[in-house]
Amino acid sequence: MRKSFLFNSIDVICLQETHDNDDKSDHLTISGFDIISYTPHAKHGHATYVHNDISDAASVSSSLCCDVIRVSGYYMANVYKPPTEHWNNTNLSPVLPHPAVLVGDFNSYRPD
């Protein structure tokens, strides 16, 4: 049984805009969670966490705009596209096998 009331039903946390330029994951700790993947950047960055009682979580891939993890047969993509970047073939989110979850901050331009 998870002891923290706030995090009692959360298994995965996906953060965007972590604003941490150091390549040290100890700057990005959350009690009760293991960091599975992170991309450091002074103005951007993203990090993905899994509750520490989940043993079958693994990092699958990482890029400037997207980190993919696998948890209990589910693929999860944590996306952060900086507003100054344009979507192109090098930073598009990957096509993930079913079942999959795609979350994040897409900073999509909308003229209206």
CA 13 to each of CA 29, 87, 90: distance values in angstroms, whole numbers, following the listed order: 12, 24, 25
* Confidence label for 23 from pLDDT (cuts 50, 70 and 90): low
* Confidence label for 10 from pLDDT (cuts 50, 70 and 90): confident
Separation of alpha carbons 19 and 79, rounded Å:
15
Report pLDDT for 2.
47
Q: Name the more confident of 102 and 87.
A: 102
The pLDDT tens digits of the residues spanning 26-50 come to 667 888 999 998 877 667 788 899 9
Q: Name the more confident of 18 and 79.
A: 79
Which domains occur in the chain, in start order?
A: 12-105 (3.60.10.10)
Report pLDDT for 1.
43
